[in-house]
Amino acid sequence: MDEKIDVIAHIHAGEGNEGVVREALESFVEPTRKEEGCLRYDLFQDVSDPLKFTFIEEWASPAALERHSQSAHIAAGRAKMNGKLAGPSWVQVAKRIL
């Protein structure tokens, strides 16, 4: 049984906080790509609105994603972004059907 899941996560920096948020998000990439079960972890910045960032992720299983969400580097980055976002992040966990 294929347990793979995909994640699309949208993060919107607050006005004037683009640099801090981008730095925190960039700090997630290298350690996350080394995590067991991480198949894809790519960060994007919107070309028309540089305050908007998106992660596109692929995980071997929901358990791998859960371990990632509890990792120390994610907790540290979230702390750096505390009070710097325009609102809550929007995260979609999906299962590819085609």
**Pairing of β 52-59 and β 5-12:** antiparallel
All domains of the chain, ordered by start, with CATH?
Answer: 5-94 (3.30.70.100)
For the segment 32-55, the average pLDDT, to the nearest whole number, is 98
Kindly give the residue spans of alpha helices, DSSP state H, lying in the chain.
Answer: 18-33, 62-69, 72-81
Task: Assess whether pLDDT exceeds 80 at residue 1.
Answer: no
pTM across the whole model: 0.94
Task: Assess whether pLDDT exceeds 80 at residue 13.
Answer: yes
Helix (H, G, I), strand (E, B) or coil at 33: helix
Task: Assess whether pLDDT exceeds 80 at residue 97.
Answer: yes
Contacts of 27 (CB under 8 A, 6+ apart): 73, 76, 77, 80
